[in-house]
Structure 1
């Protein structure tokens, strides 16, 4: 039986100084396709933790993170990665929740906000003072309301994405899923965004292409993202291959 995830799950794993990942999942895309999912954690200069695309809440994980620093920021970086925020908000009431542009306008999100979900502040191209000394950010626009905010951790030269790259390892996928994953181009070694997302981002036109070029120009040493095998080395070259469908 295959396991699409990257055990051990729901524990912080060091990547670089003040940078960790937390592997979790699987999620079920369209209710059927199993996907690994990953959170990235940055310890900011003030000692607080910044949680990018929080994965499922786990008390043991919360305790482990608490040993690294207080959780001060919960980041929903695109219009899809927000559904697990509520449990973290309940257990970390002092943390500020940051939302990708347009996220609060989606019908499903508005309904959840009426039920208690908080979106405290919106993200933009300029980093807020809370982390301007630690992280740079770029908004990648698209059509149909899509926005993804990418972050660059200056100290470790690590680029933090969400769904702009999926890099699923075929040997980890169920047999029935492997041909489909190859067909839509989201398999290792140089996966890319799924076809539906590429279509949405292309609607962002020249602005989206410029944003992609800006990400490559950062020359990251590594590229982290939510689904699949992240690029642990030669990050700029791997990113250029994965974003070739968008680059000018």
Structure 2
């Protein structure tokens, strides 16, 4: 059986101009062992932007600082805050950006004042001045407070998502878990949002469809996301197939 992760782990892997990924994990969610992925972008001014930080590792930290100072940490949702505090502790000068409404989510409110990660600023529909020259943003809204912020990096023609696409390769999963991945609709080669997330997003279908169309219109060559085999080429076409549950 192959590992569910994508070794080597916790190291920088170049993907495109000023763009790297870090594969890590596994973590467990929905009863499945999941690989996790961080995206690293060097902004035009030289500062480094980390999306969905994975577990902290001193060697990885040093490798990232070698390409530029870490100034921005993006916390996309509650589950992807798991490793945030380690990076905050070792990068005290970095600003932590939260997805819209994240600080109001119950799991974080319960931890408030104790061990909750620090959330400095909230993301909005438009990119903040800190990276508006390097990244575009699209907010995908669903019901029950769901918000996912997608980021497009024109320099590398890459779209960065979190959980809007999960693309688990069956051969990497333990055999008993493969039917569950198929049932959840997150198996390769196309991947989709997990079944529960599709239900939540459809609660605000009209807004979500407009956001999905905006993502496809960006015509990315690559599509990166947190779990599974990312789309290294033909990104726009593969994105369209993965979002057909919403667009068709």
Matches within 5 A, 1:87-106: 87-106=86-105
The equivalent of 2:174 in structure 1 is 174
Q: CA deviation at 1:193?
A: 0.7
SS of the residue 2:196 aligns to: helix
Deviation at 1:9, TM superposition (A): 0.2
Query: Is residue 2:48 matched to residue 1:52?
Result: no
Q: Partners in 1 of 2:21 and 2:204 — Cα distance?
A: 30
Q: Equivalent residues in 2 for 1:24-173 (5 A)?
A: 24-30=24-30, 32-116=31-115, 117-173=117-173
CA distance in 2 between partners of 1:20 and 1:73 (Å):
15
TM-score, length-scaled by structure 1: 0.97
**Corresponding residue of 1:23:** 23
User: 2:241: which partner in 1?
Assistant: 241
Asked if 1 retains the 8 angstrom alpha-carbon contact of 2:78 and 2:107, the reply is: no
CA–CA distance in structure 2, aligned partners of residues 19 and 152 of structure 1: 11
Gaps of at least 5 residues in structure 2 are none
CA–CA distance in structure 1, aligned partners of residues 57 and 159 of structure 2:
26
Given that 1:146 and 1:201 are in contact with CA atoms closer than 8 Å, whether structure 2 keeps it comes out as yes
Mapped partners of 2:78, 2:210: distance in 1: 20
Local SS of the residue matching 1:114: coil
Deviation at 1:79, TM superposition (A): 4.1
Aligned alpha-carbon RMSD (Å): 1.1
Contact persistence 1:126–1:137 (CA under 8 A): yes
Uncovered stretches (5+) of structure 1, i.e. residues with no partner? none
* Over 3 Å off, 4+ runs: none
**In 2: Cα distance, 1:55 partner to 1:112 partner:** 20
